[in-house]
Structure 1
Amino acid sequence: MSSEYVERASRVPGAVVWTKRAVGPTGADAAGPVLPDGCMDLLWTPGRLLVAGPDTRAFRPGPGLTGPWAGVRLRPGAAPALLGVPAHELRDRRVDLSDLRPGAEVRRLTERIDAASDPAVALEDLALRLAAAAQPEDPQIRAVVAALAAGRSVAATAAAVGLGARRLHRRSLAAFGYGPKTLARILRMQRALALARSGVPLAETAARSGYADQAHLARDVRELAGMTVTALLAP
């Protein structure tokens, strides 16, 4: 039993469109856990539209979430404006879109995407319409993400964007679902995994990603991903 995952750049700025097709006699999803990445996703599976909130730990789909799936992964901080809800209200949750928007509207949208020849494109069209109707993204929030993704400290990031520590924390809860320290940890883990998957040795990966040492990297990955680094990197 296996799962086929494909992604591409989206027409929504900074977003990614992905599809995952369950394969096997039961249609069960045999893919690994969904790791925290600072993002939120608009999701479709036959008969349902959902939103994946920002994760603070690895998410493992249960039997009611087996797919097939299409998703639009929105860059960190972008989803709250599209959905009209602060990110912290959706932290570590998967919720039906009908919990956030009128039920009749969501039923029509679900039926339209169900009937589409390419549900991923139809879902992307929905995300584009939501983005067009939303307030523009806050450039300060974009700057926070860029600074933390580059490995700058929370204090240096706050100073660079002109926000005090408390205000940065409040703004981060609304935009990302958690404080800037948590976002920094998640983005650091993602940087490390990208390096390790490219063949960089773990000790060098830890140093280049901003960890004190390889043991620090191992502890952080286990806490955020619920797995060892070597298990995550296994083919």
Structure 2
Amino acid sequence: MSTELTESDVPSPTGPASAPSRRTFIATTTAVGGIAVAGGLVAGPPPLGVEEAAAAEATPSGRVSLTVNGKRHTITVDNRTSLLDLLREHLGLTGSKKGCNAGACGACTVLVDGRRVNSCLTLAVRLEGAEVTTVEGLAPGGEDGELHPLQAAFVEQDAFQCGYCTPGQIMSGVGCIQEGHTGSAEEIREWMSGNICRCGCYVKIVRAVEQTARGK
């Protein structure tokens, strides 16, 4: 007997035999993924214990003793704290400005043991026993006393506009004078080239430094 089926003997399909639609594919794979996660097939990292969590949250810190504007301070800070942040956030000395925070503008310049430094790049914990002078500590009579000669020269020469860079300019100028780099206007410009003035007061800044150097 022949087993060949005729067209009429083949059962008709209940729907189109085309591939599943994009919507059906996405819905199916999403459902399968959810089941896999719920069933533990995709496991995340195990939760930290109490001691491990505390260790992860703890930040290394250190104690530093230094003298700022003639006053001794002993402070415990995060080891990553810059001298600039120590001055501004811990001691309330906001004269040193945070400009670029990358050592490129000079707005944060202070003196450490008589030498100019960018305080934003200087780690506070490395200054054990150091002597730090900021713009607040320049005036001989304090905040209400007589101005430092370079501060007075900046006023006389009108060597500022917005004033944001002025504290760093003055501190760098004081260092420049102490280092003896004031033989000419060109030398002053060279040795103060790390201090940027966006207002463009360079000519008057140089004059102020020259004036102070001559009267020293």
Same-fold call, TM > 0.5? no
Q: Which has the higher contact order (CA 8 A, sep 6+)?
A: 1
Bigger share in helix:
1
Tell me the TM-score normalized by structure 2.
0.25
Q: Which has the larger radius of gyration?
A: 2
